[in-house]
Protein backbone atom coordinates (compact mmCIF):
# COMPACT_ATOMS: atom_id res chain seq x y z
CA UNK A 1 0.00 0.00 0.00
CA UNK A 2 1.35 3.40 -0.89
CA UNK A 3 2.35 5.70 1.94
CA UNK A 4 -0.22 8.41 2.68
CA UNK A 5 -2.91 6.78 0.57
CA UNK A 6 -6.44 6.85 2.06
CA UNK A 7 -7.24 3.24 1.25
CA UNK A 8 -8.37 0.42 3.48
CA UNK A 9 -8.64 -3.29 3.04
CA UNK A 10 -12.18 -4.23 4.04
CA UNK A 11 -13.52 -7.75 4.02
CA UNK A 12 -16.96 -8.59 2.62
CA UNK A 13 -18.40 -12.01 3.51
CA UNK A 14 -19.86 -14.27 0.86
CA UNK A 15 -22.54 -16.94 1.36
CA UNK A 16 -20.04 -19.38 2.86
CA UNK A 17 -18.85 -16.85 5.41
CA UNK A 18 -15.41 -16.25 3.90
CA UNK A 19 -14.13 -12.66 3.89
CA UNK A 20 -13.00 -11.30 0.53
CA UNK A 21 -10.74 -8.22 0.86
CA UNK A 22 -11.76 -5.25 -1.21
CA UNK A 23 -9.82 -1.99 -1.60
CA UNK A 24 -12.03 1.01 -0.89
CA UNK A 25 -10.58 4.50 -1.29
CA UNK A 26 -11.41 7.61 0.71
CA UNK A 27 -13.18 9.16 -2.30
CA UNK A 28 -15.53 6.20 -2.47
CA UNK A 29 -16.38 6.64 1.19
CA UNK A 30 -16.91 10.38 0.69
CA UNK A 31 -19.23 9.73 -2.22
CA UNK A 32 -21.48 7.69 -0.01
CA UNK A 33 -20.23 4.18 -0.54
CA UNK A 34 -21.46 3.19 2.89
CA UNK A 35 -24.66 5.22 2.76
CA UNK A 36 -27.69 3.13 3.53
CA UNK A 37 -31.21 3.47 2.24
CA UNK A 38 -33.84 5.93 3.36
CA UNK A 39 -34.49 5.77 7.11
CA UNK A 40 -38.23 5.55 7.57
CA UNK A 41 -39.87 7.49 10.37
CA UNK A 42 -43.12 5.56 10.05
CA UNK A 43 -43.97 3.17 12.91
CA UNK A 44 -43.75 -0.55 12.34
CA UNK A 45 -47.03 -2.37 11.98
CA UNK A 46 -48.40 -5.92 11.68
CA UNK A 47 -45.82 -8.38 10.35
CA UNK A 48 -43.01 -5.80 10.49
CA UNK A 49 -42.99 -5.91 14.29
CA UNK A 50 -40.17 -8.36 15.11
CA UNK A 51 -40.36 -8.73 18.89
CA UNK A 52 -41.49 -11.72 20.94
CA UNK A 53 -44.06 -9.82 23.03
CA UNK A 54 -45.67 -6.39 23.30
CA UNK A 55 -47.66 -4.39 25.80
CA UNK A 56 -50.98 -4.22 23.98
CA UNK A 57 -53.44 -1.32 23.97
CA UNK A 58 -56.92 -1.95 22.61
CA UNK A 59 -58.71 0.07 19.90
CA UNK A 60 -60.61 2.09 22.54
CA UNK A 61 -57.50 2.79 24.63
CA UNK A 62 -58.01 -0.01 27.11
CA UNK A 63 -54.92 -1.69 28.57
CA UNK A 64 -54.85 -5.38 27.64
CA UNK A 65 -51.41 -6.13 29.06
CA UNK A 66 -48.29 -7.96 27.91
CA UNK A 67 -49.09 -10.57 25.26
CA UNK A 68 -47.12 -12.43 22.62
CA UNK A 69 -46.80 -10.89 19.19
CA UNK A 70 -48.80 -13.71 17.61
CA UNK A 71 -51.68 -13.16 20.01
CA UNK A 72 -51.59 -9.41 19.42
CA UNK A 73 -51.67 -9.90 15.65
CA UNK A 74 -54.60 -12.31 15.97
CA UNK A 75 -56.57 -9.82 18.10
CA UNK A 76 -55.97 -7.10 15.52
CA UNK A 77 -57.01 -9.34 12.65
CA UNK A 78 -60.18 -10.41 14.46
CA UNK A 79 -61.45 -6.82 14.65
CA UNK A 80 -60.19 -5.92 11.14
CA UNK A 81 -57.62 -3.35 12.31
CA UNK A 82 -53.84 -2.92 12.29
CA UNK A 83 -51.30 -3.57 15.03
CA UNK A 84 -49.09 -0.46 15.27
CA UNK A 85 -45.93 -0.19 17.36
CA UNK A 86 -46.28 3.21 19.09
CA UNK A 87 -43.42 3.00 21.63
CA UNK A 88 -40.62 0.84 20.22
CA UNK A 89 -38.06 1.83 22.92
CA UNK A 90 -40.21 0.62 25.82
CA UNK A 91 -39.52 -2.69 27.54
CA UNK A 92 -41.51 -4.48 26.16
CA UNK A 93 -42.55 -2.30 23.19
CA UNK A 94 -46.04 -0.82 23.28
CA UNK A 95 -48.38 -1.66 20.39
CA UNK A 96 -51.90 -0.46 19.77
CA UNK A 97 -54.77 -1.87 17.74
CA UNK A 98 -56.02 0.90 15.41
CA UNK A 99 -57.00 1.83 11.87
CA UNK A 100 -53.59 2.97 10.65
CA UNK A 101 -54.82 4.61 7.45
CA UNK A 102 -57.42 6.68 9.31
CA UNK A 103 -54.84 7.61 11.95
CA UNK A 104 -52.38 8.86 9.32
CA UNK A 105 -55.09 10.87 7.58
CA UNK A 106 -56.21 12.56 10.80
CA UNK A 107 -52.62 13.41 11.76
CA UNK A 108 -51.99 14.90 8.32
CA UNK A 109 -55.14 17.03 8.63
CA UNK A 110 -54.08 18.28 12.07
CA UNK A 111 -50.59 19.14 10.82
CA UNK A 112 -52.01 21.01 7.83
CA UNK A 113 -54.39 22.96 10.07
CA UNK A 114 -51.62 23.87 12.51
CA UNK A 115 -49.41 25.11 9.65
CA UNK A 116 -52.30 27.16 8.33
CA UNK A 117 -52.96 28.79 11.71
CA UNK A 118 -49.37 29.45 12.69
CA UNK A 119 -48.15 33.04 12.30
CA UNK A 120 -44.67 34.11 11.30
CA UNK A 121 -43.37 37.24 12.97
CA UNK A 122 -42.11 39.67 10.34
CA UNK A 123 -40.08 42.76 11.19
CA UNK A 124 -40.59 45.60 8.76
CA UNK A 125 -38.11 48.45 8.60
CA UNK A 126 -38.63 52.16 8.11
CA UNK A 127 -35.73 54.62 7.77
CA UNK A 128 -36.00 58.29 8.71
CA UNK A 129 -33.73 61.31 8.77
CA UNK A 130 -33.47 63.53 11.87
CA UNK A 131 -34.60 66.60 9.92
CA UNK A 132 -37.46 64.97 8.01
CA UNK A 133 -40.16 67.34 6.78
CA UNK A 134 -43.80 67.09 7.80
CA UNK A 135 -45.14 65.58 4.59
CA UNK A 136 -42.56 62.76 4.51
CA UNK A 137 -43.12 62.14 8.21
CA UNK A 138 -46.88 61.73 7.73
CA UNK A 139 -46.33 59.40 4.78
CA UNK A 140 -43.90 57.14 6.63
CA UNK A 141 -46.04 57.21 9.76
CA UNK A 142 -48.94 55.93 7.65
CA UNK A 143 -46.80 53.02 6.45
CA UNK A 144 -45.80 52.21 10.04
CA UNK A 145 -49.44 52.24 11.17
CA UNK A 146 -50.35 49.93 8.28
CA UNK A 147 -47.59 47.49 9.26
CA UNK A 148 -48.66 47.51 12.91
CA UNK A 149 -52.32 46.96 12.03
CA UNK A 150 -51.22 44.03 9.91
CA UNK A 151 -49.66 42.42 12.99
CA UNK A 152 -46.00 43.00 12.07
CA UNK A 153 -43.24 44.55 14.12
CA UNK A 154 -41.55 47.68 12.79
CA UNK A 155 -37.90 48.64 13.17
CA UNK A 156 -37.41 52.40 12.89
CA UNK A 157 -33.92 53.57 12.01
CA UNK A 158 -32.81 57.20 12.30
CA UNK A 159 -29.83 57.81 10.01
CA UNK A 160 -27.37 60.52 11.06
CA UNK A 161 -24.96 62.15 8.65
CA UNK A 162 -22.03 64.44 9.23
CA UNK A 163 -22.52 66.87 12.09
CA UNK A 164 -25.93 65.39 12.87
CA UNK A 165 -24.11 62.70 14.86
CA UNK A 166 -23.25 65.29 17.51
CA UNK A 167 -26.97 65.92 18.15
CA UNK A 168 -28.51 62.57 19.16
CA UNK A 169 -31.38 64.40 20.89
CA UNK A 170 -32.89 64.99 17.44
CA UNK A 171 -33.31 61.25 17.00
CA UNK A 172 -34.65 60.73 20.52
CA UNK A 173 -37.22 63.50 20.10
CA UNK A 174 -38.33 62.21 16.68
CA UNK A 175 -38.70 58.62 17.90
CA UNK A 176 -40.57 59.74 20.99
CA UNK A 177 -43.01 61.76 18.86
CA UNK A 178 -43.49 58.81 16.52
CA UNK A 179 -44.18 56.43 19.43
CA UNK A 180 -46.85 58.81 20.75
CA UNK A 181 -48.48 59.18 17.32
CA UNK A 182 -48.84 55.40 16.81
CA UNK A 183 -49.62 54.52 20.45
CA UNK A 184 -53.10 53.30 19.46
CA UNK A 185 -51.63 50.59 17.20
CA UNK A 186 -48.18 49.80 18.62
CA UNK A 187 -46.03 49.84 21.73
CA UNK A 188 -42.30 50.37 22.15
CA UNK A 189 -40.68 46.94 22.42
CA UNK A 190 -37.07 48.14 22.12
CA UNK A 191 -36.32 51.63 23.42
CA UNK A 192 -34.31 54.05 21.23
CA UNK A 193 -30.63 53.19 21.27
CA UNK A 194 -27.63 54.66 19.47
CA UNK A 195 -25.95 52.17 17.12
CA UNK A 196 -23.01 53.81 15.39
CA UNK A 197 -24.34 56.38 12.98
CA UNK A 198 -27.90 55.15 13.42
CA UNK A 199 -30.50 55.17 16.18
CA UNK A 200 -32.88 52.20 16.41
CA UNK A 201 -36.29 51.65 17.96
CA UNK A 202 -38.61 48.65 17.54
CA UNK A 203 -42.40 48.89 17.75
CA UNK A 204 -44.61 45.86 18.38
CA UNK A 205 -48.31 45.66 17.42
CA UNK A 206 -50.91 45.84 20.15
CA UNK A 207 -52.85 42.96 18.56
CA UNK A 208 -51.75 39.50 17.56
CA UNK A 209 -51.16 38.81 13.92
CA UNK A 210 -53.98 36.26 13.74
CA UNK A 211 -56.47 38.85 14.98
CA UNK A 212 -55.09 41.43 12.56
CA UNK A 213 -55.48 38.96 9.69
CA UNK A 214 -59.12 38.37 10.61
CA UNK A 215 -59.83 42.11 10.65
CA UNK A 216 -58.01 42.68 7.36
CA UNK A 217 -59.97 39.85 5.74
CA UNK A 218 -63.24 41.26 7.11
CA UNK A 219 -62.39 44.67 5.65
CA UNK A 220 -61.62 43.08 2.27
CA UNK A 221 -64.93 41.19 2.35
CA UNK A 222 -66.80 44.39 3.19
CA UNK A 223 -65.20 46.27 0.28
CA UNK A 224 -65.93 43.37 -2.07
CA UNK A 225 -69.59 43.38 -0.96
CA UNK A 226 -69.82 47.15 -1.57
CA UNK A 227 -68.35 46.77 -5.06
CA UNK A 228 -70.77 43.96 -5.84
CA UNK A 229 -73.70 46.10 -4.64
CA UNK A 230 -72.56 49.05 -6.78
CA UNK A 231 -72.24 46.82 -9.84
CA UNK A 232 -75.71 45.36 -9.24
CA UNK A 233 -77.18 48.88 -8.96
CA UNK A 234 -75.50 49.92 -12.21
CA UNK A 235 -76.81 46.84 -14.00
CA UNK A 236 -80.33 47.50 -12.70
CA UNK A 237 -80.21 51.16 -13.83
CA UNK A 238 -78.96 50.12 -17.25
CA UNK A 239 -81.76 47.57 -17.59
CA UNK A 240 -84.39 50.18 -16.62
CA UNK A 241 -83.04 52.66 -19.18
CA UNK A 242 -83.17 50.00 -21.89
CA UNK A 243 -86.76 49.15 -20.92
CA UNK A 244 -87.81 52.82 -21.15
CA UNK A 245 -86.16 53.12 -24.56
CA UNK A 246 -88.02 50.03 -25.79
CA UNK A 247 -91.44 51.42 -24.72
CA UNK A 248 -90.99 54.86 -26.41
CA UNK A 249 -90.25 53.30 -29.80
CA UNK A 250 -87.49 54.10 -32.28
CA UNK A 251 -86.47 57.71 -32.81
CA UNK A 252 -87.46 59.40 -36.12
CA UNK A 253 -84.51 60.17 -38.31
CA UNK A 254 -83.85 63.82 -39.04
CA UNK A 255 -84.17 64.86 -42.68
CA UNK A 256 -82.94 67.89 -44.67
CA UNK A 257 -86.15 69.81 -43.98
CA UNK A 258 -85.54 69.58 -40.22
CA UNK A 259 -82.44 71.72 -40.60
CA UNK A 260 -84.19 74.56 -42.48
CA UNK A 261 -85.76 77.66 -40.98
CA UNK A 262 -89.54 77.02 -40.57
CA UNK A 263 -90.34 80.71 -41.47
CA UNK A 264 -88.93 80.34 -44.99
CA UNK A 265 -91.53 79.62 -47.62
CA UNK A 266 -90.44 77.10 -50.16
pLDDT in tens, 103-141: 899 888 988 887 776 666 678 999 999 999 999 999 999
CATH assignment at residue 165:
3.30.110.10
Q: Judge whether residue 189 has pLDDT over 80.
A: yes
Residues 173 and 131 in one domain: yes
Residues 174 and 132 in one domain: yes
Kindly state whether residue 180 falls inside one of the protein's structural domains. Answer: yes
pLDDT of residue 8: 45
Question: What pTM was computed for the model?
Answer: 0.42
Kindly state whether residue 255 falls inside one of the protein's structural domains. Answer: no
pLDDT of residue 265: 57
Q: CA 91, CA 69: separation in Å to the nearest integer?
A: 14
Contacts from 193-200 at CB under 8 Å and sequence distance 24+?
Answer: 194/168, 197/159, 197/160, 197/161, 197/165, 198/157, 198/158, 198/159, 198/160, 199/157, 199/158, 199/160, 199/168, 199/171, 199/172, 199/175, 200/155, 200/156, 200/157, 200/158
Residues 166 and 206 in one domain: yes
Rounded to 5 degrees, φ, ψ at 153 are -80, 155
Kindly state whether residue 41 falls inside one of the protein's structural domains. Answer: no
178, 195, 210 — which closes off a domain? 210
90, 111, 132 — which closes off a domain? 111
Can you list the alpha helix ranges (DSSP code H) found in the chain? Answer: 26-30, 69-78, 100-117, 134-149, 169-181, 209-248
Q: Which domain holds residue 137?
A: 123-210
Q: How many domains does the chain have?
A: 3
Residues 206 and 127 in one domain: yes
Q: What is the mean pLDDT of residues 12-39?
A: 50
Residues 135 and 105 in one domain: no
Residues 175 and 205 in one domain: yes
Q: Judge whether residue 53 has pLDDT over 60.
A: yes
Residues 191 and 154 in one domain: yes
With bands split at pLDDT 50, 70 and 90, how would you rate the model's confidence at 181?
Answer: very high
Q: Residue 103, SS3?
A: helix
Residues 132 and 205 in one domain: yes
Residues 129 and 176 in one domain: yes
pLDDT of residue 264: 58
Residues 87 and 51 in one domain: yes
Residues 129 and 201 in one domain: yes
Kindly state whether residue 91 falls inside one of the protein's structural domains. Answer: yes
> What does pLDDT average to over the chain?
80
Kindly state whether residue 159 falls inside one of the protein's structural domains. Answer: yes
Residues 134 and 56 in one domain: no
Kindly state whether residue 258 falls inside one of the protein's structural domains. Answer: no
Kindly state whether residue 217 falls inside one of the protein's structural domains. Answer: no
Q: Judge whether residue 157 has pLDDT over 90.
A: yes
111, 134, 151 — which closes off a domain? 111
Kindly state whether residue 6 falls inside one of the protein's structural domains. Answer: yes
Amino acid sequence: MRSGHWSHLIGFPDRSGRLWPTRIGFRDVARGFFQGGHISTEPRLNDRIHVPEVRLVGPDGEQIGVVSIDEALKLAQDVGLDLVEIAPMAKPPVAKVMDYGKWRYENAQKARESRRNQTNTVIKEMKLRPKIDGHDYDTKKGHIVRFLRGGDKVKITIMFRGREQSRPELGFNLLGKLAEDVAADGVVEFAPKQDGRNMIMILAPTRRKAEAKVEVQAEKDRRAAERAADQAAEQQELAQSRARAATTGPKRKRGPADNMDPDIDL
